[in-house]
Amino acid sequence: MRNRLLSAMVLAIAAITTSFAALAGIPVVEGSYIVTFKKDAGLVQPPNEANRGKGNIPFAQHSTGQSKSALTTALGTKGEVTSIFEAINAAHIKMDAKEADRLRQDKRVLRIDQSVLGSLPATQTNPGWALDRLDSASPALNGTYNYQYTGAGRTIYLLDSGIALSNPAVAAEFGGRASIIWDINNGVPYGDDCIGHGTQVASAAGGNTFGVAKGVTLIEAKITIGCTGSVDTTSLITALN
């Protein structure tokens, strides 16, 4: 029962991690794959409970003594089995993407997940109420904003009143990550924000100080008419289109 529960948990984590990694642009480990087998595959020997436990076998070694090279041969893979995870009926295999795709066709294989690189979360102290509220599961706030991903490599498109990039302090807040793609007014400076709303939204999304995604690229289309804060439907649809 314990092994089945562990296996289910690991599979769920692998599925979520792999899917999220693809969406979030999390770096993957080239040539590194976790291969999980079907229950009736008969490839990985079941755990040897007599050997399990601290001091019985070297840490990070499987309990069965099963040969990794023999498993590699049984799979008929061009890759290399480097670890056997008997508790979850899986193995770590070093192989290229083409071999991973080929192995996915093996009827004994349940799933193959590429390894991803995790990172320790960063902590911002005194982040202000909004960021503190954002990462707090309880009603009480703790004065910190903890985040693991910065949004680096991703782009947020904003349709608003522009960004005041002509202001050196504002420009420094984004460190070259913000730009104007369109200004309905063809204003000078191009896309400059004279009412502050677009700058505030961009800062909340990706500013260095109070931004949620502190490494994201921001592209703004200024759709408001002059400094009125008004926008007509045609301009909005044009920007969206």
> Does residue 128 sit within a domain?
no
Give the structural domain span for 227: 149-240
* 100/164 same-domain check: no
* 12/109 same-domain check: yes
- pLDDT band for position 48 (50/70/90)? confident
User: What average pLDDT does this structure show over 221-231?
Assistant: 88
Question: What gap in Å lies between CA 89 and CA 228, rounded to an integer?
Answer: 64
Whether this prediction's pTM lies above 0.75 is answered by no
* 16/111 same-domain check: yes
Q: Residue 86: pLDDT above 80? A: yes
User: 178-217: per-residue pLDDT in tens?
Assistant: 999 999 898 889 999 999 999 999 999 999 999 999 999 9
> Does residue 224 sit within a domain?
yes
CB 68 within 8 A of CB 81: yes
Residue 101 CB contacts under 8 Å (≥ 6 apart), including other chains = none
**What's the confidence (pLDDT) of residue 20?**
46
CATH number of domain containing 65 = 3.30.70.80
Question: What gap in Å lies between CA 208 and CA 53, rounded to an integer?
Answer: 47
Q: What's the number of domains the chain is made of?
A: 2
* Greatest distance between any 2 Cα atoms in the chain: 77
User: 153-165: per-residue pLDDT in tens?
Assistant: 999 999 999 999 9
* 225/168 same-domain check: yes
* 12/68 same-domain check: yes
> Does residue 123 sit within a domain?
no
